Amino acid sequence: MTRLENKTALITGGTSGIGLETARQFIAEGARVSITGSSEKSVAAARAEFGDKALVIQADAGNAAGQKIVAGAIKEAFGHLDILFVNAGVAEFGPLEQWSEGAFDKSIAINVKGPFFLIQALLPIFSKQASIVLNTSINAHIGMPNSSVYALTKGALLTLAKTLSGELIGRGIRVNAVSPGPIATPLYGKFGMSEADANAMASQIQAQIPVGRFGDAGEVAKTIIFLASDEAAYIVGSELVIDGGMSNL
């Protein structure tokens, strides 16, 4: 299909997980795609995979000033932007008493501050029928132990989707959010746990999902394509939950 034909798109955190799969599907749907990634290794791997099919930018999602550089690269490459998928994020978990101010600030910077100033920097080049999709989480809705900071940042991002939807619709920019539940991505290998603890955590989480499995990145990507396309032209300020029924328990 070519639901995104002739559209330009930027995916942050597009070198792994949900972002990478979304980039693949965006390209298959006809979009001109740019992705950002933070590590040299992931950026190099994405460039090797996509070649001239995607512009790959190395960028720190938590650096507010650096978002202007990303916006400048998009303007130079595309001239304008039709789709923004804000996907870059960090998930760090721990009990309340173990959090340091530095770790707290890191999560806020990457998950909230960076996205806010990226959208601000991109405002001059968004088209008059643009779509912004923010990747939040069901953790904004459920009281999962040890997720306080992560849930706080995702709740803030969800609120941002709702407030900006009202503020930007007059410019022709639709803002919506997706809130995935547990998705089988490399994110779950970044928690700093032993393999045994990580497996135990995964089993515990899976037992709470009515469909009995983790989601697939491709399932999230298909939802994002829908919100980004003209098929969703009447959807503004909405949140689509993709969690296998977990948040309904």
- Which phi and psi angles does 127 have, rounded to 5°? -75, 175
pLDDT for the residue 125: 98
Closest of 103, 39, 86, 87 to residue 183, by C-alpha: 87
pLDDT for the residue 195: 72
Domain 8-242: CATH superfamily, name plus number: NAD(P)-binding Rossmann-like Domain (3.40.50.720)
150 is catalytic: yes
Instruction: Give first-to-last CA distance, the chain, whole Å.
Output: 36
Which pTM does this prediction carry?
A: 0.93
How does the average pLDDT of the chain come out, rounded?
Answer: 94
Per-domain residue ranges of the chain: 8-242
Measured distance CA(10)–CA(54) in Å, rounded: 10
pLDDT for the residue 24: 98
Give tens-digit pLDDT for 158-199.
Answer: 999 999 999 999 999 999 999 999 998 765 455 555 677 777
Q: Which residue has the higher pLDDT, 246 or 28?
A: 28
Structure tokens belonging to residue 169: 């619709």
**Residue 10's beta-bridge partner residues?**
34, 84
pLDDT for the residue 248: 83
Under 8 Å between Cβ of 242 and 219: yes
Measured distance CA(43)–CA(57) in Å, rounded: 7
Give tens-digit pLDDT for 59-102.
Answer: 999 999 999 999 999 999 999 999 999 999 999 999 999 999 99
Candidate list 150, 157, 225, 228, residue with the active-site label:
150
